[in-house]
């Protein structure tokens, strides 16, 4: 039979590919989530639930809401289907009759509740929920009655997906999802994944406290379901291709059922002897008794709202804004189109109107008559020059890369632009000649500025020392000159309008923050001064001493002494630069150093720039941002002082004439005259509308996404993959896309072929809904005496300024063991769903009737304000419980530090927990479920600090340098949910020989993360553009993870009994290490000297 399967799979593929090309009726592709019963087949297409006969005939749509509906499961009697739906913005469990009708909602919790099957008796729907999860990416298994009421947790152990056997005694399940999370609706495409997050299937008998595991090491075993005493599942254990397998629980043998070669099996379900599975967007049926297989030809012709061509506002898709030379219009690039919007008079114009084509952000020529933009295509990109009404004047092919326009000089008809690599170019618009001006040492942005006469281009160039130097290119000689000396980080060069000076920001403390991937850059200030270069020898400094002497009047008018209307700034300016001694002719403006960016010069010669707050200076309240701390600064050369002229903006631009400011603030655009006082007026963006043909746009997005992988992936050989062949395989399926979400799913599967981490697709113009949502009380509940009883209250623990449990307000609190008897006067019992009663209550006052007795005796009313999330409450409770468990088990000798990620939160947690426990002899670092972020060099540096000295005082204990060193044993806990920066941290911990690693292999994603642009509709594809290599210059960790020195898996039986088997093992190990530990670090002061001079 295996040979027959290998022959059948290619034949099915050939038939399917030929079928889609016919102009007539064709089988529909991109079908998913098949489920089968004795008489029916259910599946999902374009986010709707469909049902048909078992052979796919007579398909009919069961649901038609715009929201996502998926994960269908037939009830044991085949009369109902449980499914997940994202109505009102939340994923909940619903049931619907096979005959149709109104779906019934069963869950109301604001977290995602995803059905995974039914109870054996058909009275409850089984679902996965993270509602009581305190850490990690898994959930727990719950049941909710079909007739409604309180859900019941089935076990404490981690759970992701699984099914009960027909008796409801054994559960085949996986306790975490795969690294290729796109298989379950996530954003990551990662076929052939072999890191630590490869799920294995367990078969547990909760009543007997016993479990067995289906053999399989570092392979992805997913989607288990029962067929008699066999567990059928999907696995990539052969050739890294997902195929169907069956595990015989009696013999322990594993049988391979399919041999898909070109398409993965994504989903499957079975009934009797038949399995229906999805591969390549088609549904296939396999008879496991006979081995016969067929492709189900299902043709659908539904009305699909997302395919309609409609006029839409594109205000939410703005990529860049600019301002016309004299401030009369705003240039807007939005949704791949180029618009100009009037500031006062006129109408909004779409200059491009290019259906299914993308234009990249545009520039307005400084003299105002022309606009330039870049056009994207499957072959590459080209530069387009048009007049201000969109009439194309000329085109210039740029090449296969991705490019960005930097600056335009009309004096000499040149445009500076950069590519997606490290190069800066200038194109001569007269003859189309292009010159590479510079190549940076690293990928990054160029800051550029043309001189007023067009002869010179000032730009910043990143060097081998990571700092940016100031460079000046002379178009007359074709040579570039380095102006700065590499001892400062230069940014934002800009010429004065008279061409006498070149201004810039420069920082001498920027070194520690130059490589943002390192955690050691956290909360470090960036302090830059503002400088002016006097370009020509003999020119007076802009800050030269003023004597106060009388000077002769200058003739500012015509021969009659009248103003002739000429703009002196527009008269011919010849810029002379004398490079000899130029660095010595640098003067610092009298302004405090700060976090400065974006220098620009106004018509009156004043200098504007942005001042941003320093990182780490404050911690905002939840929901607040720091935009009010962003300030627009202006330096007045007459007054010789800087002043804040506007605050609360994201950024600004100055028109080429220097007369007007364009201010961006939280999505709004405003224009003001550039002067001492800024009085901005809002620009009406309501005219930013365009007709969108979704199918044409989807094709463009797919093509561009394919091209982004080709041009941005860190390895230009794409690991040897024939990327053109991948395009030929996947592009036909674009014609079957019914909605934007399906396009994301298709591209996720396409990029999965690269078999790399951090390669994701998400967002875009997908359907989204918002609803009131249920409030949460920060508690666990059980059903007791037909009432909702409070099992545990989460307080927020200590020292968390913005975290307070709703039921833990002093003087207005509930108590563990009490009952929730009523919500706002409405009685609640086990037949009710508490969260339904808490709908639309987040942040609102709710009156709860609580008491110690289920009959209401001795009850009282309390007023609470439910919250929208319990995540931090539960996490801190878990962390503190672990810390206290370690403290108690070791008699206070061992500290415990938890790291939720290696970004801001991880930095904060480490500083908070580690330094507070420096009085311990040893420490356990727990990075389980670490979400990553940065390379945690800071943490391992602190953990590996050597002892250098003691400092002895007359009174009190002595101190040590370096401070913050704990020299005793250290151990790090790891697991499969720790990844990215959570991979690097244990790698570095081991590399520096700090201590052993205990737990399970980490995720294995040290490739990152993206530099490519987003899609026209706001969607994102994260093409990995760099990769980790270890100290031996080997490609490791990526798609491997970091293996523990001491492997300890989380025991589900122990978890069900309230024990963290990994933490218990860590405590035992650190205690053993303490028994053998000794060091020669003095813990007492030396004898005091008895001789003078000693």
Determine what percent of the chain falls in helix, strand and coil, rounding each to the nearest 5: 15, 35, 50
Question: Which helix (DSSP H) or strand (DSSP E) does residue 726 occupy?
Answer: helix 723-730
Q: Residues spanned by CATH 2.120.10.60 within the chain? A: 1-25+161-303
User: Do 259 and 267 meet the contact criterion of CB atoms below 8 Å apart?
Assistant: no
- Whether the pLDDT of residue 823 is over 80: the answer is yes
| CB within 8 Å of 822: residues ≥ 6 apart | 828, 848, 849
CATH number for the domain whose boundaries are 1-25+161-303 = 2.120.10.60
pLDDT of 563-613, one tens digit each? Answer: 433 344 446 899 999 999 999 999 999 999 999 999 999 999 999 999 999
Instruction: State the pLDDT at residue 552.
Output: 66
- Whether the pLDDT of residue 1003 is over 80: the answer is yes
Rounded to an integer, what distance in angstroms lies between the CA atom of residue 755 and that of residue 741?
22
Among candidate residues 245, 274, 244, 279, the one with its CA nearest the CA of residue 13: 279
Instruction: State the pLDDT at residue 284.
Output: 98
Q: Where are the alpha helices (DSSP H) in 638-765?
A: 694-712, 723-730, 740-752
- Whether the pLDDT of residue 382 is over 60: the answer is yes
Among candidate residues 972, 979, 1011, the one with its CA nearest the CA of residue 995: 972
Instruction: State the pLDDT at residue 547.
Output: 82
Selected residue with higher pLDDT from 711 and 566? 711
Rounded to an integer, what distance in angstroms lies between the CA atom of residue 569 and that of residue 567?
5
Residue whose token pair is 């986010």 = 47
Rounded to an integer, what distance in angstroms lies between the CA atom of residue 278 and that of residue 301?
20
End-to-end C-alpha distance for the chain, whole angstroms: 90
State phi, psi for 1079 to the nearest 5 degrees.
Answer: -140, 170
Instruction: State the pLDDT at residue 625.
Output: 83
- State how far Cα 677 lies from the chain centre: 39
User: Do 270 and 276 meet the contact criterion of CB atoms below 8 Å apart?
Assistant: yes
Give the model's confidence band at 554: pLDDT under 50 very low, under 70 low, under 90 confident, else very high: low
Rounded to an integer, what distance in angstroms lies between the CA atom of residue 247 and that of residue 231?
5
Rounded to an integer, what distance in angstroms lies between the CA atom of residue 874 and that of residue 608?
47
Among candidate residues 664, 600, 675, the one with its CA nearest the CA of residue 627: 664
Mean pLDDT confidence for 646-671: 96
Give the model's confidence band at 621: pLDDT under 50 very low, under 70 low, under 90 confident, else very high: confident
User: Do 111 and 131 meet the contact criterion of CB atoms below 8 Å apart?
Assistant: yes
Question: 37: number of CA atoms within 13 Å, CB side?
Answer: 21
Q: Residues spanned by CATH 2.30.42.10 within the chain? A: 779-867
Among candidate residues 27, 24, 29, the one with its CA nearest the CA of residue 299: 27
Residue 1008 is encoded by which pair of tokens? 């990152």
Q: Residues spanned by CATH 3.30.750.44 within the chain? A: 693-762
Instruction: State the pLDDT at residue 571.
Output: 62
Residue whose token pair is 């090309």 = 21
Mean pLDDT confidence for 725-737: 98
Residue 542 is encoded by which pair of tokens? 């802009």
Question: Which helix (DSSP H) or strand (DSSP E) does residue 698 occupy?
Answer: helix 694-712
CATH architecture of the domain formed by 779-867? Roll (2.30)
Mean pLDDT confidence for 618-630: 88
- Whether the pLDDT of residue 1088 is over 80: the answer is yes
Residue 430 is encoded by which pair of tokens? 């007269």
- Whether the pLDDT of residue 23 is over 50: the answer is no
Instruction: State the pLDDT at residue 87.
Output: 96
How do beta strands 329-334 and 468-474 pair?
A: unpaired
User: Do 40 and 747 meet the contact criterion of CB atoms below 8 Å apart?
Assistant: no
CATH of 31-159, one of 3.20.20.70, 2.120.10.30, 3.30.450.40, 1.10.3720.10: 2.120.10.30
Residue whose token pair is 């101190």 = 959
Give the class (CATH, top level) of 890-1005+1041-1075: alpha beta
Residue whose token pair is 């909702």 = 788
Instruction: State the pLDDT at residue 12.
Output: 33
Residue 877 is encoded by which pair of tokens? 């409770």
Mean pLDDT confidence for 277-299: 97
- Whether the pLDDT of residue 15 is over 80: the answer is no
Q: Residues spanned by CATH 2.120.10.30 within the chain? A: 31-159
Among candidate residues 190, 239, 30, 178, the one with its CA nearest the CA of residue 751: 190
- Chain mean pLDDT for the chain: 94
- State how far Cα 183 lies from the chain centre: 18
This prediction's pTM: 0.94
Instruction: State the pLDDT at residue 931.
Output: 97
pLDDT of 149-199, one tens digit each? Answer: 999 999 999 999 999 999 999 999 999 999 999 999 999 999 999 999 999
Give the bridge partners for 235, in sequence order.
221, 243
- Whether the pLDDT of residue 732 is over 70: the answer is yes
Q: Residues spanned by CATH 2.130.10.10 within the chain? A: 445-542+578-691
- Measured at the alpha carbon of residue 533, what is the angle toward residues 527 and 534, in degrees to the nearest 5? 155
pLDDT > 90 in the chain, percent = 92
Mean pLDDT confidence for 255-265: 96
- Whether the pLDDT of residue 555 is over 90: the answer is no
pLDDT of 849-904, one tens digit each? Answer: 999 999 999 999 999 999 999 999 999 999 999 999 999 999 999 999 999 999 99
Q: Kindly compute the dihedral angle of the four CA atoms of residues 1058, 1062, 1065, 1069, in this order, to the nearest 10 degrees.
A: -140
User: Do 823 and 837 meet the contact criterion of CB atoms below 8 Å apart?
Assistant: yes
pLDDT of 679-694, one tens digit each? Answer: 999 999 999 999 999 9
Give the class (CATH, top level) of 693-762: alpha beta
Check residue 389 and report its DSSP letter: T
Mean pLDDT confidence for 360-377: 96
Give the model's confidence band at 292: pLDDT under 50 very low, under 70 low, under 90 confident, else very high: very high
Secondary structure (DSSP) of 914-934: HGGGTTSSEEEEE-TT---BS
Residue 1069 is encoded by which pair of tokens? 């190990």
CATH number for the domain whose boundaries are 445-542+578-691 = 2.130.10.10
Mean pLDDT confidence for 742-767: 98
Residue whose token pair is 């001006």 = 437
Among candidate residues 743, 662, 650, 649, the one with its CA nearest the CA of residue 696: 743
User: Do 166 and 117 meet the contact criterion of CB atoms below 8 Å apart?
Assistant: no
- Whether the pLDDT of residue 1 is over 50: the answer is no
Secondary structure (DSSP) of 947-992: P-EEE--SSS--EEESTT---S-EEEEE-TT--THHHHHHHHHHHT
Rounded to an integer, what distance in angstroms lies between the CA atom of residue 1086 and that of residue 981?
43
Instruction: State the pLDDT at residue 377.
Output: 97
- Whether the pLDDT of residue 562 is over 90: the answer is no
Phi-psi region of 891 (alpha: psi -120 to 50; beta: other; left: phi over 0): left
């Amino acid at each position: 039979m295996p040979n027959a399967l290998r022959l059948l799979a290619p034949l099915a593929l050939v038939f399917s590919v030929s079928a889609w090309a016919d102009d007539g009726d064709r089988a529909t592709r991109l079908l998913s989530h098949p489920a089968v019963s004795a008489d029916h087949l259910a599946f999902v297409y374009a986010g709707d639930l469909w049902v048909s006969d078992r052979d796919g005939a007579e398909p009919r749509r069961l649901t038609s809401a715009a929201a996502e509906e998926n994960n269908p499961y037939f009830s044991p009697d085949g009369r109902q289907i449980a499914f997940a739906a994202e109505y009102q913005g939340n994923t909940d469990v619903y049931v619907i009759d096979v005959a149709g009708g109104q779906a019934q909602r069963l869950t109301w919790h604001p977290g995602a509740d995803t059905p995974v099957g039914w109870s054996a008796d058909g009275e409850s729907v089984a679902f996965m929920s993270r509602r009581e999860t305190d850490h990690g990416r898994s959930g727990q298994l719950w049941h909710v009655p079909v007739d409604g009421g309180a859900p019941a947790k089935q076990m404490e152990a981690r759970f992701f997906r699984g099914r009960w056997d027909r008796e409801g005694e054994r559960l085949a399940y996986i306790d975490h999802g795969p690294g290729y999370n796109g298989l379950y609706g996530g954003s990551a495409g990662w076929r052939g994944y072999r890191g630590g997050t490869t799920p294995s299937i367990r078969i547990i008998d909760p009543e007997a406290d016993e479990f067995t595991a289906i053999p399989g090491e570092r392979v992805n075993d997913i989607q288990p379901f029962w067929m008699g005493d066999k567990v059928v599942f999907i696995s990539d254990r052969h050739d890294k291709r997902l195929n169907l397998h069956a595990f015989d629980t009696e013999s322990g043998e594993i049988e391979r059922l399919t041999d898909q070669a070109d398409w993965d099996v994504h989903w499957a379900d079975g009934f009797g002897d038949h399995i229906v599975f999805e591969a390549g967007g088609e549904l296939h049926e396999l008879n496991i008794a006979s081995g016969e297989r067929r492709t189900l030809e299902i043709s659908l012709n539904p009305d699909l709202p997302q395919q309609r061509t409609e006029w839409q506002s594109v205000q939410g898709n703005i990529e860049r804004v600019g301002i016309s030379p004299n401030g009369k219009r705003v240039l807007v690039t939005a949704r791949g189109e180029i618009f100009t919007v009037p500031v006062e008079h006129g109408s909004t114009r779409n200059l491009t109107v290019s259906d299914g084509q993308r234009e990249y952000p545009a520039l307005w020529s400084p003299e105002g008559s022309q606009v330039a933009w870049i056009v994207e295509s499957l072959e590459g990109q080209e530069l387009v020059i048009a007049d201000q009404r969109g009439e194309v004047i000329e085109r210039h092919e740029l090449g296969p890369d991705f490019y960005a326009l930097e600056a335009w000089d009309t004096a000499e008809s040149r445009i500076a632009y950069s590519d997606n690599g490290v190069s800066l170019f200038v194109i001569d618009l007269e003859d189309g000649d292009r010159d590479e001006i510079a190549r940076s040492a690293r990928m990054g942005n160029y800051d550029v500025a043309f001189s007023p006469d067009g002869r010179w281009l000032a730009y910043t160039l990143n060097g081998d020392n990571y700092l940016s130097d100031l460079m000046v290119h002379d178009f007359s000689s074709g040579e570039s000159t380095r102006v700065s000396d590499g001892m400062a980080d230069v940014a934002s060069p800009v010429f004065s309008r008279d061409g006498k000076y070149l201004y810039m920001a420069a920082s001498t403390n920027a070194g520690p923050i130059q490589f943002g991937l390192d955690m050691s850059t956290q909360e470090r200030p960036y302090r830059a001064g503002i400088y002016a270069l006097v370009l020509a020898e003999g020119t007076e400094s802009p800050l030269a001493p003023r004597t106060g002497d009388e000077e002769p009047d200058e003739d500012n008018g015509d021969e009659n002494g009248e103003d002739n209307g000429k703009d002196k700034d527009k008269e011919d300016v010849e810029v002379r630069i004398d490079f000899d001694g130029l660095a010595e002719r640098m003067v610092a403006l009298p302004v405090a150093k700060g976090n400065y960016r974006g220098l620009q010069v106004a018509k009156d010669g004043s200098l504007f720039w942005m001042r941003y707050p320093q990182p780490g200076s404050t911690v905002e309240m939840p929901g607040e941002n720091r935009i009010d701390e962003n300030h627009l600064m202006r330096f007045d050369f007459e007054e010789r002082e800087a002043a804040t002229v506007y605050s609360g903006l994201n950024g600004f631009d100055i028109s080429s004439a220097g007369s007007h400011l364009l201010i961006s603030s939280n999505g709004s655009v405003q224009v003001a005259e550039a002067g001492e006082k800024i009085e901005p007026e809002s620009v009406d963006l309501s005219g930013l509308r365009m007709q969108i043909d979704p199918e044409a746009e989807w094709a463009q997005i797919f093509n561009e996404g394919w091209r982004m992988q080709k041009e941005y992936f860190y390895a230009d050989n794409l690991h040897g993959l024939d990327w053109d062949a991948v395009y030929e395989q996947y592009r036909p399926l674009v014609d079957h896309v019914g909605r934007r979400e399906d396009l994301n799913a298709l591209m996720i599967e396409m990029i999965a072929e690269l078999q790399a981490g951090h390669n994701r697709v998400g967002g875009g113009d997908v359907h989204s809904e918002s609803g009131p949502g249920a409030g949460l009380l920060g508690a666990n509940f059980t059903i007791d005496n037909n009432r909702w009883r409070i099992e545990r209250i989460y307080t927020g623990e200590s020292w968390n300024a913005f975290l307070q449990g709703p039921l833990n307000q002093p003087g207005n609190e509930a108590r563990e063991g009490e009952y929730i008897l009523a919500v706002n006067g409405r009685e609640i019992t086990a037949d009710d769903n508490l969260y339904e009663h808490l709908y639309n209550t987040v942040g609102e006052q709710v009156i709860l009737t609580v008491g110690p007795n289920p009959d209401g005796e001795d009850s009282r009313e309390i007023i609470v304000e439910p919250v929208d999330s319990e995540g931090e409450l539960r996490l801190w409770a878990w962390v503190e419980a672990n810390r206290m468990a370690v403290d108690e088990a070791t008699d206070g000798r061992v500290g415990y530090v938890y790291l939720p990620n290696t970004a801001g939160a991880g930095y904060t947690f480490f500083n908070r927990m580690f330094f507070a426990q420096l009085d311990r002899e040893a420490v356990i670092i727990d990075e389980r479920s670490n979400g990553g972020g940065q390379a945690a060099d800071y943490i391992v540096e602190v953990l590996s600090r050597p002892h250098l000295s003691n400092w002895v005082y007359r009174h009190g204990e002595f101190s040590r340098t370096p401070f913050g060193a704990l020299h005793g044993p250290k151990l790090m806990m790891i697991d499969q949910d720790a990844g990215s920066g959570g991979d690097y941290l244990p790698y570095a911990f081991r590399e520096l020989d700090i201590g052993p690693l205990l737990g399970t292999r980490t995720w294995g994603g040290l490739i990152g993360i993206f530099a490519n642009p987003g899609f026209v509709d706001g969607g994102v594809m994260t093409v990995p553009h760099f990769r980790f290599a270890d100290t031996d210059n080997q490609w490791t960790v990526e798609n491997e993870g970091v293996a523990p020195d001491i492997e300890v898996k989380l025991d589900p039986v122990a978890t069900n009994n309230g024990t963290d088997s990994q933490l218990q093992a860590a405590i035992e190990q650190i205690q053993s290490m303490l028994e053998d530990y000794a060091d020669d670090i003095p813990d007492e002061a030396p004898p005091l000297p008895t001789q003078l001079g000693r």
